[in-house]
Structures are given as C-alpha cells and as structure tokens.
Chain A
Amino acid sequence: MNDLLVADSVSKSFGSFKALNEVSIAVPKGSIFGLLGPNGAGKTTLIRIINQITMPDEGTVQLDGQPLKPEHIRDIGYLPEERGLYKSMKVGEQALYLAQLKGMSKSEAKSRLKYWFDKLDIGDWWNKKIQELSKGQAQKIQFVVTVLHRPKLLIFDEPFSGFDPINANLIKDEILQLRDEGATVIFSTHRMESVEELCDHIALIHKSNKILDGKLNDIKRQYRTNTFEVGLQSNNSEAVIAEIKNKFEVLPATFKNLNDDIKLNIKINEATSSNDLLSFLTSTAEVNHFVEVIPTANDIFIQTVKNN
C-alpha cells in the first residue's frame, strides 16, 4: 500500500448543485500533495469529506487501506482556510482542549505543547487570550494545534495566508520537516509559487471535476513547449536574428541578464534536439544564456483551467 489516502469517484451534491463529480485522487505516503483549483471548484468540499464533516453521496474514501471510520479523525490534522479559535479562551487551555478532542491525554498534550511552544518561541503566550494576539500569532497557535497529535495525514488549506514572509518560511520549513518525519501532507492553495516549492504531486479540480493529476515533474514534462530562452551577443544583431527566424519559430523574450543584446524565445520542433539548437546558435553568435522554458505551475494552472 503506497497510497495513504485514496478517494474513489467521490460525488457530492448540495441540492441541485453538484460540488464534486466523480473525483478520484490518490495521495502517496510521505508526499506533499497539492490540491489545486480556482475558487469554488470543490476543493473544500473534498477536504470536508476526508475530514468526515460531510458525507459523500457516492464513492468511497480509504485511509491507509481502510474505509473512513470515525476513529480516523485521530489520524488527520486539519487546518481549515477559515481559521478560528475561541477568542476569549486562553491559549494554553484552548490548545489542551483541542488536543484532548483529538484523543490525546492531557499530560501528553501538555508535554507536546511545551515542545512546540519552545520550538516556535511562543512559550510566553500560554496565559494570553486569543483576542490579545495578532492574526498571525493566532495562526501560529492554530498550526501547532493542527500538528500536535502527530497525525499521519495533514491537511492544510491555504496555510500561508496571513503570515509575513519570515513566518511563512518558518511554517514552510516545519511542514517539510513533518513530511520528513513521515507525515503525508495535502496542501490546498492558490499560491502557485508555494506549490512549486513544496508539492511533489498535484491534482487540479475545476468546476467539480478533476482535470489533471500526477507527479508535478511529469505534468511539467507533459506541458513542456520545447521553448528555449536564449541570450546572444553579436556585432551584427539584425543579421543574426534574421538567420534564426529563418530556421526556427521565434518569440520575444524578457529575462534579466547582465548583457542586454539579443533576447529571444526559440521554439524547436520535435525532431530537433536542444543540442542541435545550441550548436546552431554557437556558430552564429556568442551564447551567454541558454535555458529551457519550463512551464510553471502557474502557467499550467491557468492554461488548464482556461482550456476547460
């Protein structure tokens, strides 16, 4: 069993509105799985089904090879997009309460909390009320509460919203460390740069349907356009450009480079290899920049959503 979580053709309707239409995903153990999609695509519904907040109309969800059972909530840590804690409750008391609801004993929860509070350097917040903390501070508490019971599966819905870059980085490192310690992470976001940084698998949900999924690198390969970003130096720029245009499809390019002579995006066809292009270029001018244009997650996201 290599997949921790398997959802098999899950459908869910609210009245006449179909929120999920036969969506299947498989989340490999130890991966960081990006659940992507525009607003209202059905990501949150799927997450809620995994958390057993709502039940699917059709389809099954399996955790670690077993159909979802109420006991499984101990194995899942969930950070919802809509953050919230009891405002007038003290930080420590609240964290203890929430940990106990997840099935931890009080003493165990206490020692784990101490570990996390020390780690994030927030020990002196224990007796503060949530309403006395800033939004970012409260989110830190919420993060701790989510991961405290060492769940096998962590579900983060937009974990970085509300954090400053320093804290966002801190949380990102913690997520990576948790993954290294064996947790599997489902990560739902719109922020593609964090997808790029963190995720190894993604699934894209659009208008209640899954339209794309797989390893991020595989998908990128699938979406590659065989385009190369090229920077050239030559005394006779116009002649060089004309010569290239003659042989290849050329698009304008913008990138930062110390030299600012000729900047081009050159698309080659299947038959041509990158070496062919490079040797052609070296014969005509001096090459100081040569990179394959890899589609960003952002590009893939926009392109796929638009095409559907």
Chain B
Amino acid sequence: MNHLPLIIKREYLTKVRNKSFIIMTFLSPLIMIALIAVVAYLSQLNNDKKRTITVLDESGFLKDVFQNTENTTYNNLEDFNLEEAVKLVKETNDYGLLYVAKVDSIEEVSKSIKFYSEETPSLTVISGIEGKIEKFLRDKKLQQDGVTIAQIEAAKTNVDIAQESFDGQKSSKLDNIIKLAFGGVAGYLLFMFIIIYGNMIMRSVIEEKTSRIIEVIISSVKPIQLMMGKIIGTSLAGVTQFAIWVVLGGVLMIVVSTIFGIDLAQTSTPQQELMNQAMQAEGAQAMAENLLNGINNLPLLNLVIAFMFFFIGGYLLYSSLYAAIGAAVDNETDTQQFMLPILMPLILAVYVGVFTVIEDPHGTVSTVFSFIPFTSPVVMLMRIPFGVPIWQQGLSLLLLIGTFMFAVWFAAKIYRVGILMYGKKPTYKELFKWLKY
C-alpha cells in the first residue's frame, strides 16, 4: 500500500494553511526590505552629515591641502596657540582639531600631526585626511627632487593581467568573482534551506509525538513512508514559501526603491567593493563584455544539473537527521544536545567553502571536503563553477546518496522506537541500543 502521496499532500496542506506560515511568508519579505531600506537610509544619513574640522597648522607646510568639500568644511586658524584652539573647538562644537606642530623641514611634518576630538573620530574621516596629506607630501617631495606634476600623473599605471587557459578560453578577475558569487549563493541557499525547513520537519515529528497521534498513524503506515512523506511535503511547502519570497521580495524591492528613491545598490558591502575595484580597473565597456564572457565561461549546464542533485541530496540527508532527532526526543528543548552534531558539519562546510575554495578550489582541503557527504553539497557546489571533473562530481554524488540511504534507514529505526518512547530523554548510548531493536 503506497500512502506516500496521501501523506505528502497532508503535510503540504497542513504547513501551507498554517497561520504563522502564511504570515511569515508574506511578512518576511516586508521585514527584509524594510531592514535593507533602513540600513541604506541610515548609511546615507551618516554620509550626509556635515562636519567642520578646525585646522591649526603651525608649520605652514600643509596650508593648501584642505579644500572644503560637500560634507566637510575646513576652518583654518591663524595666530592661535594649541590651548586656545582646543578651547575654541570645544565651544564651537566642531568635529575635531587637526594640529600640525611647528617644524623646520617638510620631512618632519608627517611625524608632527595630531587630531584632537571629543570622541574617537570615525575611521573614514581620519583615513581621508591621512590620504590627503600623504599624497600632498609625496608630490611635494617629488617636486623638490625636480619631478613635475605632469610626470607624476604620467607615472601612474594600471595593470590588468589578461588571463587565458591553455585551451584558449579567455577570462578575467571578474570571472572569479562571478564564480564566487554563484557558489556562495548556492551554498548559502542550501544552508538556509536546511536550517529553516529541517527544523520544521523536526517540529512536525515532535508534534505528532506530543499529540499522541503517532501510534494511530504508525499502525497504518510504515515509519519510513511517514518520514519520507513528511520530508517531501515540508520541502514542497518550503519551495512554495521560497518562491513567494523571491517574487514578493523582488517586487517590493523595485517598489521601495522607486518610491523612496533610495538606491539600494549603493549600500556597499565588501563584495561590492571588490566588484567596484574590478570595474574601475577595466572600464565600463570592457567590464560589460567581461561580465557576459564570464557568465558564458561558467559550465552552466553542469552547474544547473549539479545544483539540483546536490541541493536535493544534501537537503534530504540533513532533513532525515532532523526527523530522527524529532523522533528521539519529547519536546523541543530536548533537541539541543543533538543539534550541535548536525550543525557542526554544516557550518564547517560553509567555512571551508568561504575560506578555502576561494583561495584554492582544487587544493587538497577543498577536494576532500567536496567528497565527505555531510559537507559535499555546500563545498562541491562552490567548487563546480571553477570546473570540476565529471567523475569527481559523480563519485561525490554517489557517496552522498549512499549516506542519505543509510541516514534514512538509521532515522527510520530511531523513528520506530523513539516515537513510542515518552517522558525519557534519550542518551546517545540509548539511541545506539535502539538501532538493535
């Protein structure tokens, strides 16, 4: 008797009709967008703040350095001593006082600069001032040695190494960024999916135990069927939710950015800075060309297929473990002790992915972790954009499926026994014993 479709249907409908599920489905994108908008708004707010910095230059070397900009006004003091200047800055509530002590030669200026302020000044302000002074002093010193401004400008060179593989495929730094982005998104997506929906499966198993219906159900269907039904039904609900999030999030993003005129893309993250650097190095046209080229260079078909298999395989493996935990415990608080062993390989996979794969996608560490079933879905997905031989992918997938089958068998065992145990917090030793029942 195959009840699988029936169980899947029930699990799916129960999840989808659940009030908190519906609310979260529609609220989460709103909250996310609101959060992004607030962050974007705040960072803009911060940048817009006008500052006045008082400059007391006793050396007289740095007179021409500070030109007022849109956000910063420099107020040059003359005929003041340091004490008076500090007092004045305190009274006027200026951002800070830049003080250059009296020195004899331009060589000593760099050592005699101090910044006084009420609070610790912001990093950007200080490094901005430092940059200005450094450039000014360098130019000045070069000029002293007889180099003209024109020569200095002419000496600035940009190097962009053109990359080409032995079989003639052109690539660029941008390629690596695209590959990284793809691998990162895939890995992160899987990670999120496992945590959110794995937990949901676990809770639904626990709910069956606490509502005591499990004995009725288990006298009608095999535990393995019930578990598969739960995993698949919950996953479908998860896919539904995810799809709604993506669509709704996209629409809201457009709406919000047009209404409030906040350019969300301007909010810079470290990744975007990396992108910006690459862009600057190449110029817009070359950049667009490289972007297309980069995407074309990706093993797209391989990626899509691998993504599907590794995503599903990894997700099933972890969710069967979540279901087993749910079957082993009585209530959600008891799940903690079993949670760590599940999360650890997952977190490890993400770390390996982020730190090792980027540096050396085909090194020993990356390769080994892309074969270990508990880390392979994340690590392999991050490696594939850099080109992984098909046999490696196949072997890794085979190992993953094998482990999944073992995990299902293992979980069903625990399920069968654990499901009927109430009021006892199981230990690992007991779990092991259950396997033999």
Complex Cα gap A73–B14 (Å): 25
B222 an interface residue at 8 Å Cβ cutoff?
yes
Given contacts A100-B6, A103-B1, contact A82 B219 (CB under 8 A): no
Would you call A53 and B420 a contact (CB within 8 A)?
yes
Contact with A along B211-232 (1 / 0, CB 8 A): 1111111111110000000000
Contact B218 A53, beta carbon cutoff 8 Å: yes
Indicate whether A97 sits within 8 Å of B18 (C-beta atoms), given known contacts A84-B211, A85-B213, A87-B211. Answer: no
Could you mark each residue 407-437 of chain B with 1 if its beta carbon is under 8 Å from any beta carbon of chain A, else 0?
A: 0000000001100101000000000010001
Give complex CA distance A251, B3 in Å.
63
Q: Knowing A15-B433, A84-B211, say if A76 contacts B219 (CB, 8 Å).
A: yes
* Contact assessment for A88 and B14 in the assembled complex, using a CB-CB cutoff below 8 Å: yes
| Shortest Cβ distance from residue B62 to the other chain A in the assembled complex, whole angstroms | 72
Nearest residue (CB) in A for B421 is A14
Smallest CB separation, A49 vs chain B (Å): 11
List the B side residues contacting A88 at CB < 8 Å.
14, 18
* B214 cross-chain contacts in A, Cβ below 8 A: 84
Sorting the interface of chain B by its residue count into under 10, 10 to 19, 20 to 34 or 35 or more gives 20 to 34
The CB with the most chain A CB atoms within 10 A, among B18, B220, B433, B437, is that of B220
CA separation between A195 and B1, bound complex, in Å? 36
| Complex CA–CA separation, A145 to B1 (angstroms) | 19
Q: Say yes or no for B10: interface residue by CB 8 A criterion.
A: yes
Question: Which residues of A in the span 102-123 have a Cβ within 8 Å of any Cβ on B?
Answer: 102-103
> Quick check: A54 and B1 within 8 Å, CB to CB?
no
Nearest CB in chain B: distance from A146 CB, A: 8
Q: Which B350-393 residues sit within 8 Å CB-CB of chain A?
A: none
By beta carbon, the residue of chain B nearest A90 is: B17
A87 CA to B18 CA, complexed, in Å: 12
Closest chain B residue, CB of each to CB of A145? B216
- What's the nearest-Cβ distance from chain B to residue A223, in Å? 34
- A211: interface (CB < 8 Å): no
Q: Say how far B20's CB is from chain A's closest CB, in angstroms.
A: 11
Give the CA-CA distance A150 to B126 in the complex, in Å.
84
Residue of A nearest to B221 (CB): A101
Let me know if B213 and A86 touch, CB within 8 A: yes
The answer on a CB contact under 8 Å between A80 and B10 is no
Contact B218 A84 (CB under 8 A): no
A51 within 8 A of B: yes
Verify A54–B215 contact, CB threshold 8 A.
no
Asked whether A267 is an interface residue with its Cβ less than 8 Å from the other chain, the reply is: no
**Which parts of A36-71 form the interface with B (CB within 8 Å)?**
48, 51-54, 70-71
- In the assembled complex, A228 has its CB within 8 A of some CB on chain B: no
Distance in Å: Cβ of A172 to nearest Cβ of chain B: 21
Chain B residues with CB under 8 Å of A52's CB are: 219
Knowing A84-B212, A84-B213, A97-B10, say if A51 contacts B433 (CB, 8 Å): no
Would B220 and A98 count as touching, CB distance under 8 A?
yes
Q: How far is the CA of A97 from the CA of B211 in the complex (A)?
A: 16
Residues of A close to B437: CB separation below 8 A: 14, 54
Chain B residues 189-248 with CB under 8 Å of chain A are 207-208, 211-222
A–B pairs, 22, beta carbons within 8 Å? A48-B420, A52-B219, A53-B215, A53-B218, A53-B219, A70-B1, A70-B222, A71-B1, A80-B219, A82-B422, A84-B211, A84-B213, A84-B214, A85-B211, A86-B207, A87-B211, A97-B10, A98-B216, A98-B220, A101-B3, A101-B6, A142-B216
**A78-B219, A88-B18, A102-B220 provided; 18 other pairs, C-beta below 8 A?**
A53-B215, A53-B219, A54-B437, A70-B222, A73-B219, A74-B1, A76-B219, A82-B212, A84-B216, A86-B207, A86-B213, A88-B14, A100-B3, A101-B3, A101-B6, A101-B7, A101-B217, A145-B216
Interface residues, chain A, with chain B CB atoms under 8 Å away: 14-15, 48, 51-54, 70-71, 73-74, 76, 78, 80, 82-89, 97-98, 100-103, 142, 145
Which residues on B are within 8 Å of A, measured CB to CB?
Answer: 1, 3, 6-7, 10, 14, 18, 207-208, 211-222, 416-417, 420, 422, 433, 437
